Amino acid sequence: MSAASQSARPRQHWRENIEAFTVAIVMAVMLKYFAVEAYQIPTGSMQPTLMGQDFGPEGAIKDRILVDKLSFHMRDPQRWEVVIFKYPLNRAQNFVKRLVGMPGEQLRIQHGDVWTRASDSENWRIPRRPANVQRTHWKAIDVGAPAGGASWKSEPGSTATITGRDVSASAPARVGFSAHGSGSILDTYTHGYPAGMRAKLQTLPQHRASNRHPVGDLRVSGKLTCAGDDAVAIVLREGKRSYRFELGGGKARIAIEWAPNEGFEPRQIEAPLTLARGSAFAVENLDDALALEVDGEVVLSLPGEPAADQSSSVALSFERGAARFEDLQVERDVYYTPGGWSDSWTIPAGHYFMLGDNTQDSSDSREWRRIQMKWSGSPAGDEPIAGNLREGQPGRYSADTNPIVEGYGPQQRTYFRDLFGELHHFENNQRIELPGGSAVSPSPLVPRHLITGRAVAVFWPLSWKYSTYRLQWVR
């Protein structure tokens, strides 16, 4: 081997290392841009599906999620997916919401539900969620929680043995579910949170939007021991209507008992059914349809009708003989509230409508507003500059407040962040008002090109303090 070839080998070795390092960097960048990326959830707008809860000095639970960025290079987003997108009113920010409105349709929020139709000539309908999404949206109502919690109670004239979530009695008896001292089940803010967090959340100041709306979409599940001719009924009330789910005596039955003033005839359906000891059951009133499940299978279903009155209740009726319910769990659906500007929207081609699962505390399509501003010396000259309108209390501005006005009189200054995240500032005497009140307008839609990926899984945190373990798929 010559001296020349020996001296060339070290140079070749370093060249190979540099090439390998460069390729690794390029592959990492490509992977992040086109395939998968990790994000931290900063706020609570998607709770409890995705946690961004800040407990102040005592700590926080902020989910880390993996985002699939490859799928949307090959297909368009689908309804009910949890997506990541650049916020249209500040594209320097990434938002995560649930996609609920599709291009080319009309959408409205009414009675706590999302309704859609293709045109004015069609009837409104509720787009049903896939089963895995619906499981995410059912919010468990705690039993035996701190003061004001829900509980099962014997109604007047009845005697039953009640231990937490277990209820047993002999006919005739009736046991009602009391939800936080209310006459109806309401959209209580803490419903549905992981058990380790609920106690802590209940010690914080009650959220301003909690307990405002009765919720009619309910689910009751548990185990039932009911032998021979013994029979029970689980009764859900929605407004003046009564929905009876009957089990026992060799059959299952669903009966809708309409209020006389609604103009509907009673409706029912039944089928033979033999219950095993300790059979798992679930009954639900969801999106104007009733369903009865036994051991994980839907044995009966019955369509209902939209109800404007969403006041609700749950009761157990012991019809014949004796029976025992175990591990009873009452859940309510997400109750979507309309926005401050409107309760209905038209979605043009190439655009989407987004909602947060935490409808009581979410900055989403219902609330987004665009503001335009002009000032002398503006980089846009005579054209207005647009940005996000996010109001805050004077002197107590958050990071999202826009615009921010500081000072008084001649010393007043305005800070304004535009659609692309660039921060502008100008003196008060430079401001030019736009004519005709055109400065502020609703801006509810997300263009397709701003949607960058879908949330796939939560991989962190594990909070021993709040007994919360967040390793799960995102549905």
Range in 12-21, 44-53, 71-80, 83-92 with the lowest mean pLDDT: 12-21
- The whole-number pLDDT of residue 147 equals 45
- The whole-number pLDDT of residue 1 equals 44
Residues 127-132 have a mean pLDDT of 95
Quick one: 444 exposed, middle or buried, by C-beta within 10 A (0-12, 13-18, 19+)? buried
Residues 20-49 have a mean pLDDT of 69
Per the prediction, the chain carries an average pLDDT of 86
Which value, in Å, is the radius of gyration of the alpha carbons in the chain? 28
Neighbours of 367 (CB within 10 A): 16
Residues 339-351 have a mean pLDDT of 92
pLDDT category at 372 given cuts 50, 70, 90 is very high
Report DSSP state, residue 337: P
Residue predicted with more confidence, 467 or 371: 371
- The whole-number pLDDT of residue 5 equals 47
pLDDT category at 218 given cuts 50, 70, 90 is very high
- The whole-number pLDDT of residue 51 equals 87
Do 42 and 62 form a contact (C-beta atoms < 8 A)? yes
CA distances from 129 to 7, 133, 294, 333, 425 (A): 68, 6, 21, 11, 45
pTM of the model: 0.88
Residue predicted with more confidence, 266 or 206: 266
- The whole-number pLDDT of residue 321 equals 92
The candidate with the shortest Cα–Cα distance to 304, out of 247, 253, 266, is 266
CA 310 – CA 215 distance, rounded (Å): 5
Neighbours of 105 (CB within 10 A): 18
CA 453 – CA 471 distance, rounded (Å): 20
pLDDT category at 215 given cuts 50, 70, 90 is very high
Do 48 and 472 form a contact (C-beta atoms < 8 A)? no
Residue predicted with more confidence, 262 or 193: 193
Which strand (E) or helix (H) includes residue 193? none
3-class DSSP assignment, residue 438: coil
- The whole-number pLDDT of residue 400 equals 78
Q: Using one digit for the tens of pLDDT, what is the confidence trace for 152-191?
A: 999 888 889 999 999 999 999 999 998 866 688 999 888 8
CA 172 – CA 467 distance, rounded (Å): 41
Q: What DSSP letter does each residue of 123-163 carry, written as one string?
A: PPB--PPPHHHHHHH-EEPPBS-STT-BEEEEPTT---EEE
3-state helix, strand, coil in the chain (%, to 5): 15, 45, 40
Q: Tokens 């035996």: give the residue.
A: 144
pLDDT category at 11 given cuts 50, 70, 90 is low
Report DSSP state, residue 349: T
- The whole-number pLDDT of residue 59 equals 74
pLDDT category at 3 given cuts 50, 70, 90 is very low
pLDDT category at 211 given cuts 50, 70, 90 is confident
Q: Is the pLDDT of residue 54 over 90?
A: no
Residue predicted with more confidence, 260 or 57: 57
pLDDT category at 270 given cuts 50, 70, 90 is very high
Do 167 and 160 form a contact (C-beta atoms < 8 A)? yes
Half-sphere exposure of 174 (CA within 13 A, CB side): 10
The candidate with the shortest Cα–Cα distance to 337, out of 211, 183, 236, is 211
Quick one: 329 exposed, middle or buried, by C-beta within 10 A (0-12, 13-18, 19+)? middle
Residue predicted with more confidence, 259 or 324: 324
- The whole-number pLDDT of residue 18 equals 66
